[in-house]
Amino acid sequence: MIKLKLILTLILLAVCQQSIFAEESVDELLNRLDATIAEKAKYAQIKERKINDYKRLAATTTDMRQRYGYYGRLFDEYRSYRTDSAMRYASLKMAIAKKLGDSDLLCDSRLNYADIYSLTGMFKEAVDMLNTVNRKSVPKYLIPYYYHLHKNTYGLMGDYAVNEPVKQLYNRLSAQYRDSLLALKTDEYIVIMAEKLVVEKRYDEAIKMINSVMSKLKESDHNRAFFTYSLAQIYKGKGNVEEEERNLALSSINDLQSAVKEYVSLRQLANLLYHEGDVDHAYKYLRCSMEDAKECNARMRTIEIGDIFPIVDNAYNQKKEEQKRNIVIGLFAISVLSIFLIITIFFVFRQMRKLSVARQNLHSANDELSALNATLVEVNKELNTSNERLKQTNDILTETNVIKEEYIGRYMDQCSTYIEKFETYRKMLFKIVASHNMTKLAEAVKSTALIDHELKDFYSNFDETFLRLFPNFVDDFNKLLCDGEKIYPKTPDALNTELRIYALIRLGITDSVKIAQFLRYSVTTIYNYRTRIRNKAIGEREEFEDKVMKIGF
């Protein structure tokens, strides 16, 4: 708690330009502050539970020094929470110190007394208590606390002094003790040095030193309240009101979440908002500050708040009165408008009665027209269906005509070619017979080479004609098969047996007997081919051949 007190009074300087809350606007922070004030009781309960734990430990221990330590923790918890309770535990600490006859503990308890005196504005009592402590007898670990209390007390006396020479005297004494603290090279050296830099208006150097401290603090650390308050004072010196408000809001949030009752950030924020015309927030924050100051018994804070609270309260009440007047005026205007509305409704009602008869007649006409429209819609649907069927039939007939024309032409050419070949074959046989070479004649009649050659030409001719009619048949056919099961011919201008079977099916020849006759296979072989390929199909196998029939359609 000594460190916290030291930071509270020394960090009227810190500026942290890259605050973790920099992304939040002032309005967002005020909303978060409002929510924190609404949960103030919850944070107080957490504080009370912690205090009760220390009280229970102090009550159960029989070791006087250990009890003194618990009393010290209770003093720290109560210091900015309830000053009268903090004074009580300072008294209990002093009683134990006297009972033990421990001069170090007695010095510590006296410094606690001086701390509370200074905090509550009892500066004379604080100085008198500090004068009872002999500097040479102060233990080494309490010297920073001893110097801090002198610096803080004289600094506050300088702030409240009305006589300029006296103010300068107290500020000079405070500065001397600050230099003494700097000479100790304690953990608070950076903070104290930063305060000195701010007094000398060397803001950039102060910022660097404070940033080195801020980077080591957790978000929940109450020291952030002191740093953000100090940052607000720096921005105030620079004339940046927006940043001053933002950091005062951050400091207030941290104070309230730490259940601190003795603070200045919220009061200063209220003062700023009042001068900006935000009377509602100013009144709310001053009321909260006044309640906490009274609960803490922080008389200095109560006096400070009391200087501005009547002004804000008066402005708040005036605003409420103005709102009431506006409400009355609004109600009167609404009443007049309501009368006009009633009259208007009366005339509208009369017109509506006249229109009702016309609507009924129009409704009857609409019903008849709707029935007629429904009939027309049904007729149109049937007509569209018929047109669609006719279009499909025409497409099929067109495709069939194209296929017939192509294959009839091929058929005529093929027949002519076969007649010529048969004539050539006849002449060859005649020559063999004329030469009476029966052996050669038997070999010629027995050989199937001619038939095999003609079949090869026939199938080649069929493939060429089919692929000219359906150039994308192979690719479209494979799209119907699963991956890894696709079928490709050895040459791009010919079909294999499997593709030739489904080419015949695409042409409308679906009977396995006719397909077998055309390809010179057994019916069983054709059936097995068709079954095997259907098993490779994507989707339902029963729909596969129907999909093949639509290729190129």
Q: What's the chain's Rg over C-alpha atoms?
A: 52
**In this predicted model, what pLDDT tens digit does every residue of 237-282 receive, in sequence order?**
778 888 888 888 888 888 888 888 877 888 888 888 888 888 888 8
pLDDT of the residue at 336: 77
pLDDT at 206 over 80: no
> Average per-residue pLDDT in the chain?
80
Asked if pLDDT for residue 535 goes beyond 50, the answer is: yes
Per domain, the residue ranges of the chain are: 2-297, 448-549
Better-predicted residue by pLDDT, 22 or 364: 364
Q: Of 103-117, 154-168, 193-207, 245-259, which one has max mean pLDDT? A: 103-117
Q: Hey, what CATH topology would domain 2-297 get?
A: 1.25.40
pLDDT score of 358 more than 60: yes
pTM (two decimals): 0.54
Most confident of 6-15, 238-247, 325-334, 444-453: 238-247
Better-predicted residue by pLDDT, 309 or 13 = 309
Spatial contact of 57 and 70, defined as CB atoms under 8 Å apart: yes
pLDDT in tens, 297-353: 766 666 666 656 566 666 556 666 666 777 767 777 787 788 878 888 877 877 888
Instruction: Give 255-318 as a DSSP string.
Output: HHHTT--S-SHHHHHHHHHHHTT-HHHHHHHHHHHHHHHHHHT-HHHHHHHHHHHHHHHHHHHH
Q: Where is pLDDT greater, at 322 or 453?
A: 453
pLDDT of residue 22: 45
In terms of Cα–Cα distance, which of 291, 318, 325 is closest to 305? Answer: 291
Whether residue 2 has pLDDT greater than 50? no
Q: Which of 145-154, 263-272, 382-391 has the lowest mean pLDDT?
A: 382-391
**Can you give the pLDDT at residue 457?**
85
pLDDT at 234 over 90: no
pLDDT at 274: 84
104: CB partners within 8 A, 6+ apart: 139, 142
List beta partners, residue 481.
Answer: 537
In DSSP notation, 418-481 reads: HHHHHHHHHHHHHHHHHTT-HHHHHHHHH--HHHHHHHHHHHHHHHHHHHHH-TTHHHHHHTTB
| pLDDT band (50, 70, 90) for residue 425 | low
When mean pLDDT is compared across 26-35, 287-296, 381-390, 475-484, the lowest value belongs to: 381-390
Torsions phi, psi of 216, nearest 5?
Answer: -95, -5
Percent of the chain with pLDDT over 70: 81
Per-residue confidence at 539, pLDDT binned at 50, 70, 90?
confident
- Categorise residue 122: left if φ over 0, alpha if ψ from -120 to 50, beta otherwise: beta
Contact (CB, 8 A) for 115 and 133: no
Supply the pLDDT for residue 368. 76
What is the band of 226 on the pLDDT scale with cuts at 50, 70, 90?
Answer: confident
State the pLDDT confidence band at 403, using cuts at 50, 70 and 90: low
Cα distances (Å, whole numbers) of residue 134 to 129, 145, 347, 359, 372:
11, 14, 97, 105, 113
Burial class (CB in 10 A: 0-12, 13-18, 19+), 161: middle
